[in-house]
Amino acid sequence: PEVMGVEALFEKMRKIPDWPEKGILFHDITPILQSPQYFRLLVDLLVYRYMGQKIDAVAGLDARGFIIGAALAYQLNVGFIPIRKKGKLPFHTVSQKYALEYGEAVVEIHTDALEPGAQVLLVDDLVATGGTMSAGAELIRRLGGNVVEAAAILEFTDLPGGQRIRDAGVPLFTLYQNE
């Protein structure tokens, strides 16, 4: 059988033009998740990169970052921290506003989600404008954590998002880069 890699992973994403708004080409990870092989490939590529590194927790971004991040945390034998959209977390939170490709939003984290000095791996499915990932990194930093790396499947190199995250001093790792 053919050996699958990051190119195949990108191909497996479903591209939906003009959704949720005209001009947006939505990249849908559900075909990857539906496939036992591709879902494993995705998680295993990330496990391969991070196993053996000093990581205290994986933080995932609501909602698609939860799916990838939780599987990764489980495999790395560390806990999982949900960074949620506004109003979903029941305990004390800190909030961070950010601009989205389509609109504006707020993400939140529980104030006791991590210990100061914790080495946190931040995970989402993709980076477009970088707003979501940057807001997540900012929340971790505000609680005294260190973002070991921000990881995603996909980065759009025609958008400034990836560079914006790196310029803010957050190391960014993406499996696939697309124009």
User: Does 60 engage in binding with ligand PRP (CB under 6 A)?
Assistant: no
- Residue partners of 115: CB distance under 8 A and separation at least 6: 56, 144, 145
| Least distance (Å) between residue 66 CB and ligand PRP | 8
Examine residue 128 and say whether the peptide bond preceding it is cis (omega within 30 degrees of 0): no
User: Does 126 engage in binding with ligand PRP (CB under 6 A)?
Assistant: yes
User: Among 101, 119, 141, 178, which residue sits at the site for ligand PRP (rule: CB under 6 A)?
Assistant: 101
User: Among 42, 50, 62, 83, which residue sits at the site for ligand PRP (rule: CB under 6 A)?
Assistant: 62
User: Among 12, 27, 64, 84, which residue sits at the site for Mg ion (rule: CB under 5 A)?
Assistant: 64
Nearer to ligand PRP, 44 or 101 (CB): 101
Nearer to Mg ion, 56 or 138 (CB): 138
Handedness of CA 80, 170, 39, 49 (dihedral sign): negative
Please report, for residues 4, 30, 123, 174, the alpha-carbon distance to residue 45 in angstroms, rounded to integers and kept in the order given: 11, 18, 13, 11
Site map (CB under 6 A) of ligand PRP, residues 131-150, x = contact: xxx-----------------
Nearer to ligand PRP, 78 or 126 (CB): 126
Q: How far apart are CA 178 and CA 158, in angstroms?
A: 8
With CB under 5 to 8 Å by kind, the binding choice for 44 among ligand PRP, Mg ion, none is none
Alpha-helical segments (H) within 63-130:
64-76
Phi, psi dihedral angles at 92 (to 5 degrees): -65, 140
Q: Which stretch binds ligand PRP (CB under 6 A): 52-60, 67-75, 113-121, 123-131?
A: 123-131
Q: How far apart are CA 26 and CA 137, in angstroms?
A: 23
Q: Which residues bind ligand PRP (CB under 6 A)?
A: 61-64, 100-101, 124-133, 161
